[in-house]
Copies of this chain bind each other. A is one copy, B any other.
């Protein structure tokens, strides 16, 4: 354990410092010797494993199969699709040497895998029978951003899934959107307790090479928005750049239709920032490596009896990820603080008097609420508590989003809200790039999304002309 144990700043007073301290001191993650690259310690990697597990199961159910393509992309291939390469080139890490030998062609460390996968797709897809081809990979990617790195939220290497699917018709490709969006909605809400606004990115903000991008937008507690998982419809753009064609049922050669989609370790950062508090991490039960920590309270003379009972309870709780903190020479109070810092959802206290009364004390990490529960009733009670904790975290996160959602009456109002309150501001927009750019210039905030649920579309907040969309404007992470 670090010598400085607790969090020394308040979340409300200094969010950025609180966030870093929470991650480092809970031993979730650590900085590495490579600038901008994070180390995921066991509790953090466990969270990622849960995200993978839940997502992968849903992917497999709808017929998506996992594959693995090389880490490296020859420069020539990366350059094949113009918009795509322009989007990624400034952030590419280049391998130029192998041992003492200079390579003939530079190799990009994948920032995303379209350009290494699609030459193979071109080779494998010959006829309409070869589709839908729905592949996914779980891997690491590198985007060498020069902005200040922030654990999970912006790191130069991160872990993600990248789905790359191919369909014979536009209609089938478009139909995949709902399936994937539902999968990501399930993971973010029901596993990580993160609410989202789901919507289209503007032309300016969409993925480099896509026809359109659907993204999940989250709200951080400090009023900045951050993008979560996304789904890109690529139309036939990459198919044309990489010659992915097929013979249809009439034996005519056609270009295929493609989508890509991703969820990354960034979600872990969003999750931490939303639920955690001044005492440290608060983990949603489904991703907590330890769900219940049993802290036995004893003196030397009754140590063995109490520990024995603690172990007995641990055994009855085998449906949950349970752990007994049996360290001698560490006070119960110290243990309470440490497990609070680490965000374990439920603490179970048991001492000699509890054993007499056949009861234990349960303490919720999210609310701090204590309850006394009969030993023969623990399992049921813990199941309910864990469900309750998840619901409570999600509700609180939704409130954070609501509290940070504002409506601007006019352009000055928009500027004022962004300046004083941050958050997401609902406005209407004509759809013109000119207005989008003016808003960004005047507010330093941008149009983060055109929500799928459109409401009250009237006049453009910027130019006053007839609006096309209701949109959200926010400062982003």
Chain A interface residues (CB < 8 Å from chain B): 30, 32-34, 37-42, 44-46, 48-49, 65-74, 77, 89-100, 106-107, 109, 116, 119-120, 123-124, 129, 135, 139-140, 142, 144, 157, 159, 327
Complex contact A33–B71 (CB within 8 A): no
Assess whether A95 is in contact with B98, with CB atoms less than 8 Å apart: no
A114 and B30 alpha carbons, distance in the complex (Å): 17
Can you add 13 more A-B contacts, CB < 8 Å, to A33-B116, A38-B70? Answer: A30-B124, A32-B120, A37-B71, A39-B69, A45-B66, A45-B67, A68-B159, A93-B97, A94-B96, A96-B97, A99-B144, A109-B109, A139-B140
CB distance from A56 to the nearest CB of B (A): 9
Q: Nearest Cβ distance between residue A287 and chain B, in whole angstroms?
A: 14
Q: Which residues of B contact A72 (CB under 8 A)?
A: 34, 37, 93, 157
Cα A123 to Cα B65 with chains together (Å):
40
Given contacts A32-B70, A66-B42, A67-B41, whether A91 and B98 have CB atoms under 8 Å apart is yes
Instruction: Point out which of A45, A46, A90 has the most chain B C-beta atoms below 10 A from its C-beta.
Output: A45
What's the nearest-Cβ distance from chain B to residue A344, in Å? 16
Query: Closest Cβ of chain B: how far from A119's Cβ, in Å?
Result: 6
| Contact (Cβ within 8 A) B94 A67 | no
Cβ of A39 and Cβ of B120 under 8 Å apart? yes
Q: Would B74 and A34 count as touching, CB distance under 8 A?
A: yes
* CB-CB nearest in chain B for A31: B120
Please tell me if the beta carbons of B116 and A71 are within 8 angstroms of each other in the complex.
Answer: no
Q: How far is the CA of A77 from the CA of B30 in the complex (A)?
A: 17
What are 19 A-B interface contacts by the 8 Å CB criterion? A30-B120, A30-B124, A32-B69, A38-B70, A39-B68, A39-B120, A40-B67, A45-B66, A45-B67, A46-B65, A49-B66, A71-B157, A91-B98, A91-B99, A93-B95, A94-B97, A95-B96, A95-B109, A98-B144
A91 to B97, CA, bound (A): 10
Whether A142 contacts B71 by the Cβ 8 Å rule is: yes
